[in-house]
C-alpha cells in the first residue's frame, strides 16, 4: 500500500493541474468525435468515378468488380479496394468504407469511390 501511495505522489509531482485539465479536455473531444463517427448513417450506393465515367453500384449485394488497374469488393453494406497496381497502395490500405460521404481515392489511377445515399428513397418536397 505504501508503494502505491508513493507512485501517486510522484505522479502528482510530475504532472501539474493544467496537465490534467488538458487531458480531460482531450478526452471529452475524443469521446464526442467517436460518438459522432459511430452514429453516422450508412449509405446504400457506391459511386465510382473512373476514366471520365460514373458508375453506381448497390451496397446491398456482394460483388467483386475488376477494373483495368484495380479491383473493388462490395460486401455486406461496405466497400474497399482489394488490389491496385499503384506504387504505394494507399488506396488499398484505406480499408472498408460504409458511411455516407466516405471516399477512397487512388490518384495514380485517377479513381475515386464514394458512399452515398439513394436519393430516390426520400419522399420530400423542395419549396
Task: Please give the Cα distance from 29 to 51 (Å, whole number).
Answer: 40
The answer on pLDDT for 75 being more than 70 is yes
Confidence band for 40, pLDDT divided at 50, 70 and 90 = confident
pTM of the model: 0.64
- Nearest CA among 96, 61, 98 for reference residue 82: 96
- CATH architecture designation of domain 45-119: Sandwich (2.60)
Q: What residue spans define the domains of the chain?
A: 2-38, 45-119
Amino acid at each position: 500500500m505504501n508503494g502505491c501511495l508513493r507512485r501517486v505522489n510522484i505522479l502528482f509531482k510530475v504532472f501539474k493541474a493544467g496537465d490534467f485539465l488538458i487531458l480531460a479536455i482531450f478526452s471529452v473531444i475524443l469521446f464526442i468525435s467517436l460518438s459522432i463517427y459511430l452514429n453516422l448513417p450508412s449509405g446504400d450506393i457506391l459511386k465510382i468515378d473512373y476514366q471520365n465515367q460514373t458508375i453506381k453500384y448497390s451496397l446491398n449485394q456482394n460483388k467483386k468488380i475488376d477494373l483495368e488497374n484495380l479491383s473493388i469488393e462490395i460486401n455486406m453494406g461496405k466497400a474497399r479496394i482489394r488490389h491496385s497496381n499503384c506504387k504505394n497502395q494507399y488506396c488499398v490500405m484505406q480499408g472498408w468504407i460504409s458511411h455516407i460521404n466516405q471516399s477512397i481515392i487512388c490518384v495514380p489511377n485517377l479513381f475515386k469511390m464514394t458512399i452515398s445515399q439513394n436519393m430516390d428513397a426520400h419522399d420530400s418536397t423542395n419549396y
